[in-house]
Amino acid sequence: MSRTVEVAPERFEIWLERFTANNPDGPQRIESVARFDHTPMVVVLVRRGGFAVAVVVDGRIVVHKVGSRHVQSRTAAGGWSQQRFARRRANQADALVEAVAEHLTRILGESAAPAGVVAGGDKALVRELLADGRLASLAALPRRELFDIPDPGRAVLEEAVRRGRAVRVCVTDGPVSPT
């Protein structure tokens, strides 16, 4: 059975020494190590109703914006009302993406060119946001995705920064299989 462990980059060497000392012959093995050492890094978190964007340099949030926009939830209405509410939700989601794009463009103008992107929240909204022409430079950058985050706020933003920078180690438990 495999699992992924997230280790802070500044603690990785110590973690690796301790892991190696505790598992000389198994039963746990490291299958892969994935680093995300890009600095400066842009963090973009978008969910219906909330967003957080930030520029991070060496693990420290340099500039950020956290906000909320109302996006109506689904309703049980049927017929014409259902279609009307669906259009309203779509318009509100578009307004949210536009507001986030404006904030992100503003904070990117205040900092050095980013080297990586951490994106999270609603996949469709993040995809729509990164397709904005003003943010075209972000599309080609290395990306780490965190789509399992809750509604963005300052605490969630800080957690996304921590997880975005983390070294991901895939550890396999159990006996070594014969080759």
pLDDT for position 79: 67
pLDDT for position 80: 64
Domain 37-165, CATH: 3.30.420.60
The closest of 42, 58, 55 to 9, measured between CA atoms, is: 58
For the chain, domain boundaries = 37-165
pLDDT for position 175: 64
The closest of 92, 42, 43, 41 to 68, measured between CA atoms, is: 92
pLDDT for position 71: 63
pLDDT for position 68: 85
Q: Is the peptide bond before 178 cis (omega within 30 degrees of 0)?
A: no
pLDDT for position 92: 81
pLDDT for position 29: 92
10-residue block means of pLDDT along the chain (179 residues)? 94 95 87 94 92 95 88 61 72 85 92 92 93 90 94 94 96 70
CA distance 164 to 23: 27
- Token digits for 178? 């014969």
pLDDT for position 94: 82
pLDDT for position 174: 73
